[in-house]
Structure 1
Amino acid sequence: MPPQSRRRRRRDQRRRPVLYAAVASAVLLSATAATTVYVKARAHDATALVSHITSSGEDPSVSPSPSPTVDLDALLAKAVRSAAAGHDGDVSVSVLDMDTGTRASYASGDRTYDTASIVKVDILAALLLRARDEGRSLTAREKTYATAMIEHSDNASTTQLWDTIGRADGLDAANERLGLSGTTGGNGPLWGLTQTTADDQLTLLKQVFGVGDDLALDADARAYVQELMGNVESDQAWGVSAAGDDTALKNGWLQRSTTGLWDINSVGRVSGAGKRYLVAVVSNGSATKDAGIALVEDVARAAVPVLSAGG
């Protein structure tokens, strides 16, 4: 080989390691840059995911599941049947948490009950609607009758106001405005045989105590009825009062002449553990008045705690 060729070959061999090193560096830098971009992208994706989870309240380790639905009516039915065990007669109850709007109902068959004296709250509501329609306040005489009717459960005063509102027709017309759909006024002077349901009585209580938006009674009328219901005679303060304290109520009791059995009813507002409840219990078929009262009180005590299961 000529001397010049040998010199060129040696120069080429000396350059190759440098060239190889340069190429290797370029490849390494390219791979590092790509890896860096990939890692940064994955980190960004992870950050975005954590941000989404944090803002949405999701836990990535826990699969979401629907909240269980509590059947309060079924729980109430179980509680009432247990409370009524050993008692004679039929009973229905409706109860509502005034602060949350949670409610539950139990009806013993598809039937209505004699109101007895709980209809007196309904009569007073009808009277107040009538007076407002006529653009007036209650007269002094009407107020005297109303006080005796609610606080003392005076029947003669009730008959006077029953006549004033137009008896059953007047009551039925007022109840249409109040939202009662299952209540029918008694025949002729027999206001105590007005037929009703526990659900309707709860609807009436909502009107009286201002629960909901569709209120037919104005604030003054509601305050007036509440005041009277909060001042019933002490010997008549039984019934739903067994379920709490700070009670405003009206009770009803009637012995049916055809059977000798008793209708015992109680409706009102009670408070307990910082919460307020509306409770309506209606019953019939008890052998004695005291037995009917015991039934109503046991059912009221059992019904109110059921609402705590609804939150």
Structure 2
Amino acid sequence: MPKMKGTSLRRSRAGAGVVLASVTALFSLGGLHAVPAFAAGTAAQSPDKTRVTAAVLSLDGGSRKPLLNGKDTAYDTASVVKVDVLATLLLQAQDAGRHLTAQERALAEPMIRNSDNAATNTLWREIGGAPALEAANKRLGLTATQGGPGAKWGLTRTTASDQIRLLLSVFDGAATAHPASPLNKDSRTYIQTLMTRVADDQAWGVSAVSGSGYALKNGWLQRTATGLWDVNSVGRVTVDGHRYLVAVLSDGSGSMSEGISVVERAARQAVAATART
């Protein structure tokens, strides 16, 4: 297993209680997760089963095609879908000619900053679930994302390229070479602000590429059938003054900490490769 940076490992351990509480709550609702293996002191075995795909797009370049490392196949989103849920909610509000209500903001903030599952459950129902998410995604330019069944938003399926398309719809104000996003400036700024203010225990994943100046959303879940972990991270990073959109999706890790290491290593390698092009 690749060695984790000390900061990432400390954050992972510090957030164990938060992860356990969050995941246990969703499990009790008939949701997606079992008790986290690393928090419980056990780990599933994942010999040669880990998959990872990273996609990177430079916001300072003219290309609209991300550099891919790995096969651009579908993965479970886990909690990275929460950015998509918020984008859908904001598009619906724009269509209605209104701003988000105080209650909607009170749910959106912990959904992104703390990865709060209960808030996501409420907003998933409010937007109209998978059909509404997929309708919004057509407008946002996503082509390969399928909403999760029923209330299981974490089982939404997506690709790394589609996550770059979603990030581009949020951050494209900084990239004039790209087409305009259906999200207006206020909506984009709102998502960006929440993604740059994630709680300390959430600050791992693609943020490992840059010491500061990042915006991100992470996701993780343990599959009950195999005991293996899906661990994902998406966001914008700044490296040596250059801005990149990064999406790393993985599954098949034996523990959450192993998955974090896989994701962070893949993010570093993909950004370094993009910087050389």
TM-score by length of 1: 0.70
What is the aligned counterpart of 1:238 among 192, 198, 204? 204
Matched residue pairs, number?
A: 224
The question of whether the paired residues in 2 share the 8 Å contact of 1:113 and 1:283 is answered with yes
Q: Secondary structure at the match of 2:121?
A: helix
Moved more, 297-306 or 211-220: 211-220
Q: 1:231 to 1:87 in 2, by over 3 A?
A: farther
Q: Distance in 2 between matches of 1:297 and 1:88?
A: 18
Counterpart of 2:99, as a letter, is S
Given residue 188 of structure 1, which amino acid in structure 2 is its aligned partner? G
Q: AA paired with 1:119? A: V
Q: Aligned equivalents of 1:271 and 1:138: distance in 2?
A: 30
Identical-residue share of aligned pairs (%): 54
2:85 is matched with which residue: 101, 123, 139?
Answer: 123
Shift of 1:106: 2.7
Aligned residue among 123, 135, 142 for 1:173 = 135
For 2:275 and 2:227, how far apart are their aligned partners in 1? 38
Unaligned runs of 5+ in 1: 1-85
Deviation at residue 238 of structure 1 after TM alignment: 0.3
Deviations 1:66-97 (A, max 9, x none): xxxxxxxxxxxxxxxxxxxx985001111011
Segments of 5+ residues of structure 2 without an aligned counterpart are 1-46
Relative contact order, higher structure (CA 8 A, sep 6+) = 2
Once the two structures are TM-superposed, the CA of residue 214 in structure 1 deviates from its matched residue by: 3.4
Cα contact 2:69–2:270 (8 A) shared by 1: no
- CA distance in 2 between partners of 1:157 and 1:274 (Å): 35
- The structure in which a higher percent of residues are helix is 1
Q: Report the alpha carbon displacement of residue 101 of structure 1 after superposing the two structures with TM.
A: 3.5
Aligned pairs (5 A) from 1:281-296? 281-296=248-263
Q: Does 1:267 align with 2:234?
A: yes
TM-score, normalised to structure 2, is 0.79
What letter is aligned with 1:297?
E
Partner of 2:101: 139
Q: Conserved in 1, the CA contact under 8 Å of 2:130 and 2:149?
A: yes
**1:95 equivalenced with 2:59 (yes/no):** no
Paired with 2:217 and 2:81, the residues of 1 have a C-alpha distance of 9
Q: Distance in 2 between matches of 1:308 and 1:232?
A: 26
What's the counterpart of residue 275 of structure 2?
Answer: 308
Between the aligned partners of 1:238 and 1:136, the Cα distance in structure 2 is 34
Q: Give 1:221's aligned residue.
A: 187
Please tell me whether the aligned partners of residues 281 and 296 of structure 1 are also in contact (alpha carbons under 8 angstroms): yes
Counterpart of 2:275, as a letter, is S
Q: CA deviation at 1:307?
A: 1.6
Q: Corresponding residue for 1:255?
A: 222
Alignment RMSD (CA, Å): 1.3
Matched-pair contact (CA < 8 Å) for 1:107–1:198: no
Tell me, yes or no, if the aligned pair for 1:253 and 1:262 is still in contact at 8 Å: yes
CA contact (8 A) 1:87 1:291 kept: no
